[in-house]
Amino acid sequence: MVAAPTYLELQEGVIAQVGERAYHEELVPDLRRLVLAYIDVHDRCDGTIGKTFRPLGATKTGGKLFKVRLGVPGQGKSGGLRVLLALHCEDRECRVLLARWRRDASNRDEELAADRDW
C-alpha cells in the first residue's frame, strides 16, 4: 500500500499557495487528519463530509478534485482556508492544487485548478 499524504507534503503544498507569512501551522494537521479520515471512510472517493469536504469533479488520470474548508479559530466565517485537492483514494495520494484564505478566494477558485493531469 502506498503511504498516505504526509504532514510535510501537505504543509509544503499549503505554504506554496498562501505563502509562509500567511500560513497557520495548526491547519496542516487538521487537513491531514481530514484527508486520512475521508480515505478511510470513502475508499472510492465517492462521498462528502458536510460542507467541509466535497467533490468537484475528476482529474484526467482518474483522481477526484475536492474543495476542503478549514476554519481558523478566532477568525470567524471569513477567516478560514479553502483548499482544492486532487486525491487518488486507491493509492492514498493527495496533492494541494490551490489554497486560498476565504477572504481572498473568489467563487471561481475551482476553475483555477487547470492541473487536472495529476
- Start-end of H helices in the chain: 7-18, 27-41
Distance in angstroms (rounded) separating the CA atoms of residues 88 and 61:
9
Decide if pLDDT at 108 tops 60: no
Q: What's the pTM value of the predicted model, to 2 decimals?
A: 0.69
Give pLDDT tens digits for 84-101: 888 888 888 888 888 887
- What does the domain layout of the chain look like in residue ranges? 7-104
DSSP lists the bridge partners of residue 85 as: 66, 96
Give pLDDT tens digits for 36-77: 888 888 777 888 877 788 888 888 888 888 888 887 667 676
